[in-house]
Amino acid sequence: MIQNHETIPALEKRYRANLINSLGGFKSLVLIGTRHDEGTENLATFSSLFHLGADPALCGIIIRPGEPDRNTLDNILRQKHYTINHVQPSFFKQAHQCSARYAPGESEFAATGLTPLYEAGISAPFVKESVIRFACKLEQVVPIELNGTTLVIGKIIYVNLPDECVGADGFIDIEKAQTVTCSGLDSYHISKRLARLSYAKTDRPVTEVG
Binders of a copy of itself among residues 7 to 36 (CB under 8 A) are 8-9, 11-30
Q: Which residues pair with 102 in a beta bridge?
A: none
Closest CA to 174 of 70, 86, 84: 86
CA 69 and chain centroid, separation? 13
Contacts of 62 (CB under 8 A, 6+ apart): 48, 144, 149, 150, 151, 152
Distances (CA, A) of 101 to 3, 21, 60, 193, 206: 32, 19, 23, 35, 47
Contact set for a copy of itself, span 98-117 (CB under 8 A): 98-103, 106, 111
> What does the alpha-carbon distance between residue 109 and residue 116 come to, in Å, rounded to a whole number?
7
Task: Name the segment binding a copy of itself (CB under 8 A); options: 32-40, 71-79, 200-208.
Answer: 200-208
CB of 115 to a copy of itself, least distance (A): 18
Contact set for a copy of itself, span 62-91 (CB under 8 A): 62, 84, 86, 89
Among 38, 66, 105, 194, contact with a copy of itself (rule: CB under 8 A): 194
CB of 42 to a copy of itself, least distance (A): 14
Answer whether 100's CB lies under 8 Å from 140's CB.
no
Among 49, 70, 118, 138, contact with a copy of itself (rule: CB under 8 A): 49
Contact set for a copy of itself, span 114-173 (CB under 8 A): 121, 132, 134, 137, 139-140, 142, 144, 146-147, 149, 151, 153, 155-163, 166-167, 169-172
